[in-house]
């Protein structure tokens, strides 16, 4: 086919690995022998379990692999007919534009307009056309009015929209996005996909997307390519067909599915068959309303007993310069609660979390028993050169260290340097370091930030286990699905005040509150609230609320 804009032919990538002597070798191929073509007007989503080489494949599209990143590439990649191996990365910028995960790591200049002009200027586009391209791109992402601002003062979603505008200004036939929303809050995710839908509406370019948040991406995608754990292509076809006809294969592979689809699968086990399988909250609601009668949702009693206070806060106010970060906060957190703290960027979430764990000591906060705190970036906490030493730091309880090594699945890695662990292992180790002292209260700041769904789920199962053993858990998070599934109580912060303090289900039923605070209900709650025929289901917010045959767990 001559109209393929991006073509992979037998592409395998082996990353450089260093052995103990410091010699370079090459690891196992991830991805493995990928052959695929993308044509104009297509939006293609790459799916696959963690570590199968999705991000790596995106880096071959503009020649970063093999030109810049130390890796060995077999096979060929052609962009608009030219081999990437025979051109340089900067020259390929005429044909392929990339949007990466971290918006902060893509900003070079000091103003929004300069930033968008940076790419075309590098390509020696004439002066007048640079401005014309910049204006068109900024208007499309809705940032033209902010062209003179410093990119640093934009919100997370705003900065990622800026990164998209920068990619658009290159006017390339191919656009590649690698987890563009992994670092964003719900409002930011929505902004980015609204923008991307507008971009794709032009139907003039090929888009390759890696995204774990399928609920956000699914309406934007035409075609899905699925890789297995070995990095090989196992499925390639229209998004809807792949996701509905091969749903069991995808589940076996460990690929995350849209929540609406997961809900439908769960209902199938109690005899409510929805055909075809819904992919979006809207489709789920429509499908449920065609069913004459539904079994009542499960009424799972939650431990909301607040008999003994684990943390008591009385009139806590924290000022930083002229800004009041926390404004007269009074609350009690009972022993054994799982509390989530949510709110827009800058609402004071991290400051409150640090006060609750005693990281920043205050007379206004009383904590019963030892407390542990887990920072957003695990690396910031590491102090030693070995995993086992990291857990043993500041304790003489060797039995506890051994127990944690087993529990966190880090036993084989006990002699490894903490910085050499994978992202998920680093996260487990940082939680373990906080658990050594057997805290009664564990506070975590954005524990799933920048992590994929598989790692996030792994961490949450760990937290859920601790919670069931009686540990009080406080989590700062943007992830509404996580909050809905696990938390027994949700604090919504806004401008340093607690705006709401109720169960997640009650808060998700309050659209005005959600809109005011930049939060979004999780997909399942969105579907349940719009049901016409089944008013009893309006309170459903989590998968665990759905009826099942046997009581689970």
Partner 1 sequence: MIDSILSLRSYNPVVKVLAPIPAMVVAGLSRDLWTPAALTVIALVMLLAFGRLRGRALLWTLAGPPLMVAVLTLSFGVWIDREKVGGWSGALEAGLATGLRVSAVLTLALIAGLTSEGTDLVRSMITHLRMPYRIGYAGFAAMRFVPRFRHDLEIIRLAHRVRGVSTGRGPVATTKRYSGYVVPLLAGAMRHGDRVSLAMEARGFGAYPARTERRRVPLRARDAVLALWLLLLCLVPTLPGVLG
| HEC readout, 407-437 | HCCCHHHCCCCHHHCCHHHHHHHHHHHHHCC
CA of 333: how far to CAs of 304, 313, 434, 451, in Å? 10, 9, 19, 28
Residue 442, SS3? strand
Nearer to partner 1, 173 or 295 (CB): 173
* Strand ranges of the sheet holding 323-334, from the earlier edge strand across to the other edge: 323-334, 309-320, 365-367
144 is a contact residue toward partner 1 (CB under 8 A): no
Q: Which is nearer to partner 1, 90 or 276 (CB)?
A: 90
Shortest Å, Cβ 219 to partner 1: 27
* 321 contacts partner 1 (rule: CB under 8 A): no
Query: Under rule CB under 8 A, which residues in 49-68 are in contact with partner 1?
Result: 62, 64, 68
Distance (Å, whole) CA 119 – CA 250: 38
Q: Given candidates 262, 263, 433, 441, which one binds partner 1 under the rule CB under 8 A?
A: 433
- Could you tell me which stretch among 135-143, 207-215, 381-389, 488-496 binds partner 1 (CB under 8 A)? 381-389
SS (H, E, C) 356-378: HCCCCCCCCEEECCCEEEECCCH
Q: Indicate the residue among 390 and 485 with the shorter CB distance to partner 1.
A: 390
Q: Which helix (H) or strand (E) holds 476?
A: strand 472-476
Per CB under 8 A, the list member of 1, 21, 24, 105 interacting with partner 1 is 105
- 170 belongs to the binding site for partner 1 (CB under 8 A): yes
List the one residue from 50, 354, 517, 541 that touches partner 1 (CB under 8 A): 354
Contacting residue, 85, 265, 359, 513, with partner 1 by CB under 8 A: 359
- Closest CB 391 distance from partner 1, rounded Å: 11
User: Using CB under 8 A, which of the segments 8-16, 164-172, 268-276, 294-302 binds partner 1?
Assistant: 164-172
- Separation CA 207–CA 161 (nearest Å): 16
Residue 322 found at the interface with partner 1 (CB under 8 A): no
Least separation in angstroms between CB 530 and partner 1: 40
The reply on whether position 90 binds partner 1 by CB under 8 A is yes
Stretch that binds partner 1, among 227-235, 243-251, 267-275, 352-360 (CB under 8 A): 352-360
* DSSP labels, 233-289: EEEEEEHHHHHHHTHHHHHHHT----HHHHHHHHHHTTT---SSPP-SHHHHHHHHH
Identity of the residue, 144 or 393, whose beta carbon is nearer to partner 1 in the bound complex = 393
From 204, 245, 203, 193, select the one nearest 224 (Cα to Cα). Answer: 245
Out of 393, 495, 503, 530, the residue judged to bind partner 1 by CB under 8 A: 393
User: What's the token pair of residue 280?
Assistant: 């979006």
Angle at 259 between CA 42 and CA 342, to 5 degrees: 105
Q: Is 377 in the site for partner 1 (CB under 8 A)?
A: yes
**66: cis peptide before it, omega within 30°?**
yes
Q: Which of 5, 125, 154, 392 binds partner 1 (CB under 8 A)?
A: 125
Q: Which is nearer to partner 1, 166 or 207 (CB)?
A: 166
Choosing from 131, 309, 331, 499, the residue that interacts with partner 1 (CB under 8 A) is 131
392 near partner 1 (CB under 8 A) = no
Q: How far is the CB of 127 from partner 1 (least distance, A)?
A: 6
- Residue 126 interacts with partner 1 (CB under 8 A)? yes
- State in angstroms the smallest separation of the CB of 96 from partner 1: 8
Own/partner contacts of 467-471, CB < 8 Å, gap of 24 or more, are 467/336, 467/338, 470/335, 470/336, 471/336, 471/439, 471/440, 471/441, 471/442
The sign of the CA dihedral 365, 371, 376, 377 is positive
Q: Which is nearer to partner 1, 33 or 389 (CB)?
A: 389
Could you write out the three-class secondary structure of 496-538?
Answer: CEEEEEECHHHHHCCHHHHHHCCCCCCHHHHHHHCCCCCHHHH
166 binds partner 1 (CB under 8 A): yes
Contact between 181 and partner 1 by CB under 8 A: the answer reads no
Instruction: Out of 152, 271, 296, 321, point to the residue binding partner 1 (CB under 8 A).
Output: 152
What is the DSSP secondary-structure string of 101-166? S-GGGG--SSSHHHHHHHHHHHTT--HHHHHHHHHHHHHHHT-GGGTTS-GGGS-HHHHHHHHHHH
Tell me which of 8, 256, 375, 537 binds partner 1, using CB under 8 A: 375
> Looking at 5-13, 120-128, 456-464, 523-531, which segment touches partner 1 (CB under 8 A)?
120-128
Report if residue 132 touches partner 1, rule: CB under 8 A: no
Nearest alpha carbon to residue 474 among 365, 330, 366, 334? 334
Rounded to whole angstroms, how far apart are CA atoms 119 and 134? 10
397 binds partner 1 (CB under 8 A): no
Q: Is 201 in the site for partner 1 (CB under 8 A)?
A: no
Q: Distance of CA 378 to CAs 143, 400, 423, Å?
A: 34, 21, 9
- What does the alpha-carbon distance between residue 397 and residue 528 come to, in Å, rounded to a whole number? 49
Regarding 320 and contact with partner 1 (CB under 8 A), the answer is no
Establish if 80 lies at the interface with partner 1 (CB under 8 A): no
- Tell me how far apart the alpha carbons of residues 191 and 340 are, in angstroms, rounded to a whole number: 24
Q: Which of 4, 44, 47, 117 binds partner 1 (CB under 8 A)?
A: 117
Binding status of residue 120 toward partner 1 by CB under 8 A: yes
Does 83 contact partner 1 by CB under 8 A?
Answer: no
What is the token pair recorded at 150?
A: 């410093």
DSSP state, residue 218: G
| Count of other CB atoms within 10 angstroms of residue 236 | 16
Q: Given the complex with partner 1, which of 110 and 273 has the nearer CB atom?
A: 110
Binding site for partner 1 (CB under 8 A): 62, 64, 68-69, 88-91, 93-94, 96-98, 100, 102, 104-110, 114, 117-127, 130-131, 152, 166-167, 170, 354, 357, 359-360, 373, 375, 377, 379-383, 393-394, 419, 433
């Amino acid at each position: 086919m001559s109209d393929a804009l991006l073509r992979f032919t037998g592409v395998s990538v082996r990353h450089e690995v260093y052995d103990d002597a410091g010699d370079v070798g090459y690891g196992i191929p991830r991805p493995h022998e990928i052959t695929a073509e993308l044509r104009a007007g297509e939006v293609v989503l790459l799916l696959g379990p963690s570590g199968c080489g999705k991000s790596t494949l995106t880096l071959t599209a503009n020649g970063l692999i093999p030109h810049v990143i130390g890796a060995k590439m077999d096979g060929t990649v052609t962009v608009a007919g030219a081999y990437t191996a025979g051109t340089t990365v900067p020259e390929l910028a005429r044909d392929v534009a990339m949007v990466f995960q971290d918006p902060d790591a893509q900003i070079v200049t000091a103003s929004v307009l300069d930033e968008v002009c940076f790419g075309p200027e590098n390509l020696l586009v004439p002066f007048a056309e640079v401005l014309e391209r910049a204006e068109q791109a900024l208007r499309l992402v809705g940032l033209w009015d902010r062209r003179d601002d410093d990119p640093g003062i934009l919100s997370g979603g705003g900065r990622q929209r800026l990164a998209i505008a920068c990619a658009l200004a290159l006017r390339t036939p191919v656009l590649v996005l690698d987890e563009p929303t992994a670092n964003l809050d719900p409002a930011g995710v929505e902004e980015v996909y609204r923008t991307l839908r507008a971009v794709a509406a032009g139907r003039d370019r090929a888009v390759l997307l890696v995204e774990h948040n399928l609920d956000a991406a699914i309406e934007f995608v035409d075609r899905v390519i699925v890789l297995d754990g070995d990095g090989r292509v196992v499925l390639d076809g229209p998004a809807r067909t792949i996701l509905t006809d091969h749903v069991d294969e995808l589940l076996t592979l460990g690929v995350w599915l849209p929540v609406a689809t997961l809900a439908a699968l769960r209902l199938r086990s109690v005899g409510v068959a929805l055909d075809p399988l819904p992919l979006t909250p809207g489709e789920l609601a429509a499908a449920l309303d065609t069913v004459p009668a539904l079994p009542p949702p499960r009424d799972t009693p939650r431990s909301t007993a607040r008999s003994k206070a684990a943390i008591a806060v009385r009139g806590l106010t924290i000022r930083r310069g002229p800004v009041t970060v926390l404004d007269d906060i009074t609350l009690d957190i009972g022993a054994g609660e799982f509390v989530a703290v949510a709110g827009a960027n800058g609402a004071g979430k991290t400051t409150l979390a640090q006060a609750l764990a005693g990281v920043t000591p205050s007379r206004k906060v009383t904590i019963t028993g030892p407390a542990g705190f887990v920072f957003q970036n695990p690396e910031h906490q590491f102090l030693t050169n070995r995993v086992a030493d990291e857990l043993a730091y500041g304790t003489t309880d060797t039995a506890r260290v051994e127990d944690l090594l087993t529990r966190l699945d880090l036993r084989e890695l006990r002699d490894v340097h903490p910085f050499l662990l994978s992202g998920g292992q680093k996260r487990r180790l940082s939680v373990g370091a906080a658990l050594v002292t057997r805290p009664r209260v564990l506070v975590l700041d954005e524990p799933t930030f920048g992590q994929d769904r598989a790692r996030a789920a792994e961490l949450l199962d760990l937290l859920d286990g601790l919670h069931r053993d009686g540990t009080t858990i406080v989590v700062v998070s943007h992830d509404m699905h996580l909050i809905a599934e696990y938390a027994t109580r949700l604090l919504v912060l806004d401008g340093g005040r607690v705006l709401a303090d109720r169960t997640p289900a009650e808060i998700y039923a309050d659209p005005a509150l959600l809109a005011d605070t930049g939060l979004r209900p999780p997909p399942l709650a969105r579907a349940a609230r719009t049901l016409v025929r089944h008013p009893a289901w309006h309170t459903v917010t989590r998968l665990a609320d759905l009826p099942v045959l046997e009581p689970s767990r």
